[in-house]
Structure 1
Amino acid sequence: MTVQSSDEIDPLEIEVGGRALLTEPLLNKGLAFTVEERSAFGLHGLLPPHIETLEEQVERRLIAVRRLRTNAERYHFLSDLQDENETLFYALITSHLSEMLPIIYTPTVGQGCQEFSDYWRYPRGLFLSLPYKDRIAEILSHPRYDRVETIVVSDGERVLGLGDQGVGGMGIPVGKLALYTACGGLNPATTLPVFLDVGTDNQARLDDPLYIGWRHARVRGPEYDAFVESFVSALEERWPNVLLQWEDFARGQAGTLLNRYRDRLLTFNDDIQGTAAVAAGTLLAAMHVSGVAFKDQRIVIVGAGSAGCGIAKLILHQMVESGLSEAEARRRFHAVDIDGLLVEGMPGLLDFQQPFAQPREAVADWKRKGAGKITLEDVVANAKPTLMIGVSAQPGIFHEELVRTMAANVDRPVIMPLSNPTSRAEAMPKDLVEWTDGRVITCTGSPFTPVEYGGRLHVIDQTNNAYIFPGLGLGVLAVGARRVSDGMFAAAARALAAISPARKDPHASLLPPTDSLRDVAIAIAAAVAKRARDEGLCDAFEDDDLPLLLAKKQWRPVYRLYVKKPGYRRIPQRPDL
């Protein structure tokens, strides 16, 4: 990792010193404070005399991380490091991104959310609890948040595939924003994780004496809507141009909130749109390997919630752009939920599911094993899909017989078990490779090691949303976009496919290596920014100016030289209580 020395950057004026400086994670340098800085800010005696470079600190912490036994231990170690020294945290993450990504986010973040109350120690982000709804504007008004440009918010009801985790869901906004900085380069001082605490229906959390959230059944209906509206209205007043990302809201809320606010704010839902973009981009890359064009795809979506239908919607968009009519494209989708295949006229269909319900006459002649619902097995046997995507959080639902049936009807089946964490994956990649005699093209929602079969190593790509949202955020902020559009996600998907290693080598991975996510973010950001301009959602700019616009929004983890700010005050080390 290339690190600039402090004399290559303008000095930073600091207004506090002593222990207060050492306990501010955005400013703390640990043993990297120079002799001059220690004298100026009253740090002599508070630190050992040894002085280290940032590179030496990274090596010290890397050794410590690797000595730990489990990723859960590493997750908590890195969380503590982030709360102690953010520059060092990001220097470590960005220089070892492939190694650290599964620790700071999926799959380990799921366990972090489950154990959130057990390990909580530092007030990172904002917890907005419904009993204090009248204080939201007051909480947001603190000068500490004057620079905020990006917010990730969750209410913790559908954390990954783990369900309602209550206040533990705060681990998701914290983790997502860490990736915004590590991959997209956003300054951590401009990011803010927010948790909307409306209670929980997880009885284990409510019964836990260590649980730190609001001990109340989850509030729904008009009272919930009014609370969210109060939050959004306060955001509009405080930061009218803020980028707001919705995370891990339940299926009944996710699409509703997105549709309600997408024309009021610069906002998107990563579970719906980010997941769709990375899935579509991966599919575009897979088509170069399978040889099956968009117009010939037959698609099964298993898990017809907001994420599944979001994926279907973006793939539908790509199909229409490839020449199919919308009606023709829709008929190529078979969405399967808990009640089986979605069919027109089915009771309880949600608005976002309606476009992907099959006409009854289209399935009337299907051969079926039973007279009840049309099962996933029925769908695969009759529709003969070329692509099967799982976002069901049902482990093992892609079983051997099902996969072999699919593989018997297509030369290179594309199977994407996207549910995470690992315990919720619809199938294990090793099984998919074996059941298809090595013909499968697969990618997963969680990281898996390569699979050896037939004398060849099959790389298992993780369709991590980190391939999309950090670049999207960088792009819209760099050009001052006023809204986030579906077209931006389509552009992001195509940009991701364009840098697929499989375009040059069909045996290569579908997605770029995670160590290159910073470069991926720049490619995505450029595509998104140009789409924003083309759709009239930002001020005009020249293509030649775009690299500089993006560079201006990117922060690098380096230590700046500190000097005293006028009005500097040294905080007493032991204040009277």
Structure 2
Amino acid sequence: MRNLQDTNEVLFYHYITSNIEASLPLIYTPTVGYACQHFSEIWRKNRGVFIAWEDRNNIESILRNVLSDDIKIIVVTDGERILGLGDQGIGGMGIPIGKLSLYTACGGIAPHQCLPIMLDVGTNNKELLNNPLYMGARHSRVSEAEYFEFIDIVVSAIERRWPGVLLQFEDFALQHATPLLKEYQDKLCCFNDDIQGTAAVALGSILAACLHNKTSLSDQRIMFVGAGSAGCGIAELIVSALKADGVDEDVARSHIFLVDKDGLVLKDTPALTDFQYRLAHARETLPFSPDGKNIAALINCIQPSILIGVSGVPGLFTEEVVKSMHSCASTPIIFPLSNPTSRVEALPEDIIEWTEGNVIIATGSPFAPVMYKGHRHIISQCNNSYIFPGLGLGVLLSNAKRVTENMFLAASKVLALSSPLLKDPHGALLPELTNIHEISKKIAIAVALAGAEDGVATRMMESELEDKLEDMFWKPEYQNYRRISF
């Protein structure tokens, strides 16, 4: 597939878009995880830009080697937290390549306008450092001060080379992801897909489930197992959605419960990050003893209606945990979102059996439908590709200068209203990916309108946006050329 992409992009994307559901697991999760782990061993041809820390004084000239001045979207990673696989060094380049393939296949962004960038600041993966085939820098990751200085040099150089480009931060480690987003989100057009994209597709899935259950978001108590940037990003977007519905912020935060390896996250939990502290509960405000690490026991105390797994710990949602959720809600919403498949908190077939089929599930990796007592349960993948291609398309469509929270909320609402479950009680929670172009276009329009409302994008009539969208939506078709004289 990569060879075809490198030699005939039109044919590559024609095949992908014609077989999107079968192709997605090949060009992204779970296959991309294997590709990242073995990147140096299976490398065939260069794609994208590699920038090493040692080249920090030559970044301008490196970026000038990219001949195109028409780059519109860049996906950048440092390879430190690749999926649930940890530090993969320059092997992390597989993620930007895969993500940008989805921008084109799902969002109609022309491939020549996309650029993957890998920042090589070393690796702490001893297996890679000892591998004679590893092509990255053979040293440990640079210090924090050196790291943030390097990132700032790179981001500034990118902005000078391609002013207004949409910059997507991808698979940065917990201690870097949120600080980088906070540093740059008000300075340039950027977002972090692990935090904000994951949050938007999760929120859209939750809203769809609430619509199906004929409940509102404000009726839910939501428990997160895993308190990293992804889980906290989902939680914060839920808080924003509740506030947009008129719920007081303190009340909105009282609906959220974070659990990590040491138990319920509290204000007095040691070594909390700022984004974790904002979501932590004060011990004295809880009507139960918050101590203990047993997830099922915490569920019985908290009585959540929604359980979200972002822990990366396989099998963490045991039968006891799932049955505790079922005792709290007649139709619990359970999302084991960790990926790749080897890291999922519970298998869908087990969750369905333990809840006697009365459950709404979405996963972070693809799973086949499950038959239970004669009924076919379609397992929707809570895949960021439902959101970020349409978001990027909307940014380009409206010439947005920033990416705002309201743009993600708008995307989530479009996804929720696209749920087949709203029309068919036995339907999937999320629409089929065969409809991804239609969904991406709707999201793009909603994002453009939200951006204009926030004052960061060009204000246009919806009909104008629709016409412009059709003109700019790239299709994998061979063009007719004619020779001209110089």
Whether these two folds match at TM > 0.5 is: yes
The residue identity in structure 2 corresponding to 1:242 is V
Partner in structure 2 of residue 203 of structure 1: 126
- Report how far residue 374 of structure 1 moved: 4.4
| Structure 1 residues 198 and 565: CA distance shift in structure 2, 3 A | farther
What's the counterpart of residue 527 of structure 1?
446
Structure 1 stretches of 4+ moved >6 Å: none
Matching residue's letter, 1:163: G
Is 2:188 aligned against 1:265? yes
Contact 2:307 2:334 in 1 (8 A): yes
Please tell me the residue identity of whatever aligns with 1:214.
A
Paired residue for 2:367, among 448, 460, 475?
Answer: 448
1:385 aligns with 2:304: yes
Deviation at 1:240, TM superposition (A): 1.3
Please give the secondary structure, in 1, of the residue aligned with 2:96: helix
Q: Could you tell me how far apart the structure 1 residues matched to 2:344 and 2:213 are?
A: 23
Contact kept, 8 Å, 1:341 with 1:375, in 2: the verdict is no
1:331-346 correspondence to structure 2 within 5 Å: 331-346=254-269
- Separation of aligned partners in 1, 2:51 and 2:156: 14
2:403 paired residue among 484, 488, 499: 484
Trace 1:391-540 onto structure 2 (pairs within 5 A).
391-540=310-459
Deviations 1:70-98 (A, max 9, x none): xxxxxxxx111111111111011011111
Structure 1 residue ranges without an equivalent (≥5):
1-77, 568-577
Task: After superposition, give the CA deviation of every residue in 1:490-547 in whole Å (9 maximum; x if it has no partner).
Answer: 0100011111111112221111101111111101101100001111111221111011
Q: Equivalents in 1 of 2:363, 2:377: separation in Å?
A: 13
- Identity of matched residues, %: 50
2:278 alignment partner, SS class: helix
Partner of 2:58: helix, strand, or coil?
helix
Q: 1:543 aligns with which of 454, 462, 466?
A: 462
Alpha-carbon deviation of 1:563?
A: 3.5
Which digits, 9 at most, give the CA deviation of each residue in 1:321-361, with x for residues without a partner?
A: 23321111111111011221110122111001112101101
Counterpart pick for 1:555 among 452, 474, 480 = 474
Check if 1:165 corresponds to 2:84: no
- Among residues 16, 25, 29, which one is paired with 1:93 in the alignment? 16
Give the counterpart of 2:214 among 291, 299, 318. Answer: 291
CA–CA separation in structure 1 for the residues paired with 2:169 and 2:92: 12
State the one-letter code of the partner of 1:351: D
Q: 2:172 aligned with 1:249, yes or no?
A: yes
- CA RMSD across the alignment: 1.2
**1:24 matched to which residue of 2?**
none
Residue identity opposite 2:148 in structure 1: D
Matched AA of 1:556:
K
CA distance in 2, matches of 1:128, 1:523: 36
Gapped regions of structure 2 (runs ≥ 5):
none
Q: How many residues align?
A: 486
CA distance in 2, matches of 1:134, 1:101: 38
Q: Distance in 2 between matches of 1:331 and 1:211?
A: 47
Task: Report SS of the residue matched to 2:328.
Answer: coil
> Normalising to structure 1: TM-score of the pair?
0.83
**Rg larger in 1 or in 2?**
1
Q: Residue 115 of structure 2: SS of its match in structure 1?
A: strand
Matched with 1:282 is: 205
Q: Could you say what secondary structure the match of 1:457 adopts?
A: strand
- Aligned position for 1:138: 61
Quick one: distance in 2 between partners of 1:374 and 1:426?
A: 16
The equivalent residue for 1:17 is none
Q: Is the 8 A contact 1:418 1:446 kept in 2?
A: yes
Using the alignment, how far apart are the partners of 1:523 and 1:274 within structure 2?
A: 16
Paired AA for residue 472 in structure 1: L
**Quick one: distance in 1 between partners of 2:138 and 2:485?**
45
Cα separation, 2, equivalents of 1:228 and 1:163: 20
Q: Could you state the TM-score of these two structures normalised by the residue count of structure 2?
A: 0.98
Tell me the secondary structure at the aligned position of residue 353 of structure 1: helix
